[in-house]
């Protein structure tokens, strides 16, 4: 099984589409005002937004985008007007993360984990 796509809600795609393009995603489907799909610049996964009349309340799904050049990318995005809730910060789970929200309040985490993403020191050992 391979994760193909994640979709998040948006109240106004005319605001959300340019935001995600600034993050570096490539718009590949534009069915505005109801739906848009982006291709991630690395790998084969896609990300989409769909219009809702009411945004969800309470806890939301966090979307993580891995960036090999996290600190540089965050600086570039700040220059483009993107506001971060947390600058690039080393986390105890051995990832470096920067946190922000999209225009609809969906949490987005840009991070770099390298080898620790799939192989942290506490990874469960496979039975042989």
pLDDT digits (tens, 9 = 90+) for 49-79: 999 999 999 888 899 999 999 999 999 999 9
Q: Is residue 128 part of a domain?
A: no
Spatial separation of the C-alpha atoms in residues 111 and 52, rounded to whole Å: 28
- The count of domains in the chain is 1
**Under 8 Å CB-to-CB from 77, ≥6 apart: which residues?**
22, 23, 84
pLDDT of residue 128: 59
Percent of the chain topping pLDDT 70: 99
Query: pTM for this one?
Result: 0.92
pLDDT of residue 101: 97
| Paired residues of 29 in beta bridges | 37
Task: Name the DSSP letter for residue 60.
Answer: -
Q: Is residue 124 part of a domain?
A: no
CATH of the domain at 27: 3.10.180.10
């Amino acid at each position: 099984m391979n994760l193909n796509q994640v979709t998040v809600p948006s109240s106004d795609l005319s605001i959300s589409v340019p935001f995600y393009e600034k993050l570096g995603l490539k718009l590949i489907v534009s069915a505005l005002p109801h739906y848009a799909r982006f291709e991630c610049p690395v790998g084969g996964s896609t990300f989409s937004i769909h219009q809702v009349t009411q945004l969800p309340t309470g806890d939301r799904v966090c979307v993580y985008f891995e960036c090999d050049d996290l600190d540089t990318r965050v600086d570039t995005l700040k220059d483009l007007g993107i506001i971060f809730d947390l600058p690039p910060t080393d986390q105890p789970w051995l990832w470096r993360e920067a946190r922000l929200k999209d225009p609809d309040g969906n949490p987005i985490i840009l991070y770099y984990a390298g080898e620790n993403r799939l192989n942290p020191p506490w990874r469960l050992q496979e039975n042989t």
